[in-house]
Structure 1
Amino acid sequence: MTVNLERIKRDILTLAEIGRNQADRGIYRMAFTDADMEGKRWLKEQIAAADLPCEVDGAANISAILEGHSDAPRLIVGSHIDTVPCAGALDGTLGVVVGLECLRCMHENGFQPQQTIELIAFSDEEGRFGGMFGSQSVCGLINPEKLATMKDLNGILLKDELERQGFDPLAALDAARDPESIAGYLELHIEQGPVLDSLGKSVGVVDEITGLFTWTVRLRGEANHAGTTPMEMRNDAFMGLADFAHEIPRILAENGSERSRATIGKAQILPGAANTVPGLVEFSLDCRDTSEETLEELSAAFRKALSAIARRRNLMFEFEQKSYIHPVQCSLPLVERLCHQARALGLDYQQMHSGAAHDAQIMGRMVPTGMIFVPSKGGQSHSPAEWTAWSDIEAGANLMLSTLRDFG
């Protein structure tokens, strides 16, 4: 039993046109926009065409069901079809399309698994309203306060957008599942990085998913005239940022691991005039590692470095933690099962960690979790240049199919 690659191609290319911007060729299917809802309708049509039961829960997660022989805890396979702005065709979508194809293949071949297998396309993985809304709802991590206050960057409330699309926001609370009803969760995803492509490997088996914290950091100095203020008499906030940026490699080397990452991705300099010494800088800090202890050590080291720089530069330092996502260890039995299946299929695979967050990260807090990666050409993702060779997609899809088929 193998997947139908031509059907996978058709589904990926068809869904890629929903929300496509013809000017920049990017896909704009952000959570609960009209394009996202059109994508959800398309998915429900494909599930119906495959003669599989389709369900939609209160968080607008869409499920396809392949009934098993027994009422044992079910196996879930999933990902998402919402996108970032100006996205590529595969992020999230590939996992949903492959999951559906696996269920179709088994159903068409008259194969009934030992336990029920459910495909879930989760809502808002990409974070229009903060991220992981669908999988957080399934894991019981959503509460009435969150539902009332979650909003996007334009100030649009999640509850208003849910109501606009015909959903009762409070129904998301009913999407929570009993952990005892789920045997495990599997997700196939593009790597979104360069490792597999550079190694020439067709698939990756994920053993850990990175945790991360994001800060907003402010260094306050004193704005002053660029021509009349001597260099040694300045309280230049930007120089504090420059000092800190150069400290990051040292901090990672001394307090981090080979899986540590730290990024200043956004910075604002105020007052922002060419002839004025900067009085304030505000910047983001994104830090990731697969170890909770390492994240704590890095957090302490960053605070210590920023405090020292602030004292030296006569600045005030403050920060606000905007988010924290716990790292997740993938289930060792699932990792071993995926590696075994990869060897049985003759696939050249790499055991590796995920440096990006996924729905698997949320599900992994509740049930045993495993992930399959396929290579991203040039390591590119979150752009129209995002792509994976069809042969690698086929390899990853057949690895998922064989794992689901032999799970019971």
Structure 2
Amino acid sequence: MAQVDTDRFLRDLNELRKIGEYKTGVHRPTFSPEDMESRHWLMERMRECGLEASIDGIGNVFGRHKGPGPHLLVGSHIESQNQAGWLDGALGVMAGVALARAGLPVDVVAFADEEGHYGSFIGSRSLIGLLEDSEIDTLTNRYHGKPLRQALKEAGLEGLPRPRLDPARYKGFFEMHIEQGTQLESQNLRAGVVTGIVAIWQFRIVIEGMQDHAGGTTMAERKDAGLTAVRMLARIDREFPMLCGPRTVWTCGRIALDPGAPSIIPGRAEVLFQFRDIDTEVLERLERCMRSVVQEMNRTERTVSTVEVMSRSKPAPCDPAMQAALAEAATKHANGQWQHMPSGAGHDAQYMARVMPAAMLFTPSINGISHHWAEDTKEEDLALNIRIMADAAEAFLRG
């Protein structure tokens, strides 16, 4: 059996968190100096455990095992959200390094920009051929507007090749990740074997009314797009619980009113709305409900609302054989303290699942906190889960 060095694994994680340190978390936005420092630091760790390290033209860091296969691909990402946590992504990358150090035939990858500072999963999509140069030309940073091409040049990545993965090299892809929720901790569980990654369906709802004076226009005369938006969302929130699955979630992430002044009735409202589930039938049911509510609001309100599809991703079921290997290892190391569970968040694994078998292992998140500098996991749980991952990887390679 492979003997994973849990002490070294924890030391590596704690050393990485010093790069871009922010309070108890990290601030390593994609292609920032701190992010690039962490990528070069990672390449050194890869070389130390015998991997051939490289970085490509979109920022993916790759450690290639030099020996014979069959091989596994293991990894995640190491950039962070702004002023966020030290484990989101980094845990999965350093888990891959730990498995390589234990002598397992794994390639390790740190995908670029999983956190979406410049685009949607541009690193993992690049590796499977779903990122065209024409898209790179259009992408900009969502916070400060810097073009991606400029960021790549400043990071020293301009002109580097963007090779594609060879799926035939791999028996599968493993990703370890923090749960980013409370399901494990609330049940005193220490590990989660992921059954699949949810699809995210996103919509823009535009409501057109009439901009007018907030004092001179009577309530009977108003065509208030803002109030229509509020009533519409309240109606959707009442209807969805009767149609959703056990782990469906929905979110209104933005309501923008135009012109957005206190003494002007808003003539236009833009609502960004999404829902997530692992079951496509549930997603389709929710979309029909949402559109029905919009249609009904157009009948009863003095405004006109339209729905635009922004994106409809696909659920990514985890590979049954890889799940079984994780479950067997979890039973060995945490008998009675683990469960099967879906992932409510998106991960690079959902793109790897398009070209090879893929699976994920979750560690508990203290108080469910993530995308915040207070994000944390007990070190004993981190050590337990790397042992689960090592045993599962070895068993799956033998199977």
After TM superposition, the score normalised by the length of structure 1 is 0.91
Q: What is aligned with 2:383?
A: 394
Deviation at 1:346, TM superposition (A): 3.7
Cα-to-partner distance string for 1:26-70 (whole Å, 9 max, x where unaligned): 522111121111000111122223343323334332222344444
CA distance in 1 between counterparts of 2:12 and 2:6 reads 10
Query: Aligned to 2:100, which of 86, 103, 109?
Result: 103
Q: Does residue 125 of structure 2 align to residue 136 of structure 1?
A: yes
User: Do the aligned partners of 1:240 and 1:310 also contact (CA within 8 Å) in 2?
Assistant: no
CA contact (8 A) 1:68 1:117 kept: no
Structure 2: distance between partners of 1:349 and 1:324: 31
What is the SS of the residue equivalent to 2:195? strand
Counterpart position of 1:374: 363
In the alignment, the residues of structure 2 paired with residue 315 and residue 68 of structure 1 have an alpha-carbon distance, to the nearest angstrom, of: 65
**Aligned with 2:110: secondary structure?**
strand
Counterpart contact for 1:255–1:294, Cα < 8 Å: yes
Q: Does 1:222 align with 2:210?
A: yes
Distance 1:281 1:242 in 2: 10
Q: Is the aligned partner of 1:161 residue 2:165?
A: no
Match of 1:331 among 316, 319, 326: 319
| Native 8 Å contact 1:219 1:310 kept in 2 | no
In the alignment, the residues of structure 1 paired with residue 54 and residue 213 of structure 2 have an alpha-carbon distance, to the nearest angstrom, of 64
- 2:240 and 2:135 map into 1 onto residues whose CA distance is 34
Q: After superposition, where does 1:248-327 map in structure 2 within 5 Å?
A: 248-327=236-315
Per-residue CA shift, 1:101-160, capped at 9, x if unaligned? Answer: 121123xxxxxx5xx311111111111111311111111111121122222223322222
Taking structure 2 as the reference length, what is the TM-score of the superposition? Answer: 0.93
The alpha carbon displacement at 1:78 in A equals 0.7
Give the paired residue count: 394
Aligned letter for 1:60? G
SS in 2 for 1:231: coil
Q: Distance in 2 between matches of 1:244 and 1:331?
A: 39
> Offset at 1:385?
0.8
**Counterparts of 1:211 and 1:67 in 2: how far apart (Å)?**
36
Distance 1:262 1:244 in 2: 14
Please give the residue correspondences for 1:1-400 in structure 2 after superposition, counting only pairs within 5 Å: 1-21=2-22, 26-70=25-69, 72=70, 74-106=71-103, 113=104, 116-153=105-142, 154-168=144-158, 171-172=161-162, 175-347=163-335, 348-400=337-389
Name the structure 2 match of 1:109.
Answer: none
Structure 2 runs not aligned, ≥5 long: none
Letter of the structure 2 residue corresponding to residue 183 of structure 1: K
**Which amino acid is 1:19 matched to?**
G
Q: Could you tell me how far apart the structure 2 residues matched to 1:155 and 1:42 are?
A: 27
Deviation, structure 1 residue 185: 0.5
Between the aligned partners of 2:96 and 2:242, the Cα distance in structure 1 is 42
- Which consecutive segments of 4 or more residues in structure 1 shift more than 6 A? none
Q: Structure 2 CA distance, aligned partners of 1:246 and 1:391?
A: 43
Counterpart residue type for residue 209 of structure 1: I
Report deviation, 1:170.
7.1
Partner of 2:174, secondary structure, is: strand
Identity %: 32
Tell me the alpha carbon deviations over residues 350-384 of structure 1, each in whole angstroms, 9 at most, x when there is no partner: 10000000000111111111000000111100001
Q: Secondary structure at the match of 1:232?
A: coil
For structure 1, the residue ranges without an aligned partner over 5 or more in a row are 107-112
Letter aligned with residue 178 of structure 1: D
Letter in 2 for 1:196: L
CA deviation map 1:321-375 (0-9, x unaligned): 3333211111111111111111122442110000000000111111111000000
- The offset of 1:252, in angstroms, is 2.0
Q: Distance in 2 between matches of 1:133 and 1:360?
A: 13
How much has 1:286 moved relative to structure 2? Answer: 1.7
Distance across 2 between alignment mates of 1:395 and 1:381: 20
Q: CA distance change for structure 1 residues 279 and 25 in 2, over 3 Å: closer, same or farther?
A: farther
Q: Tell me how far 1:196 sits from its aligned partner.
A: 0.5
The amino acid across from 2:8 in the alignment is: R
Distance 1:26 1:393, change over 3 A: closer
Q: Distance in 2 between matches of 1:320 and 1:151?
A: 22
1:221 positional shift: 1.1
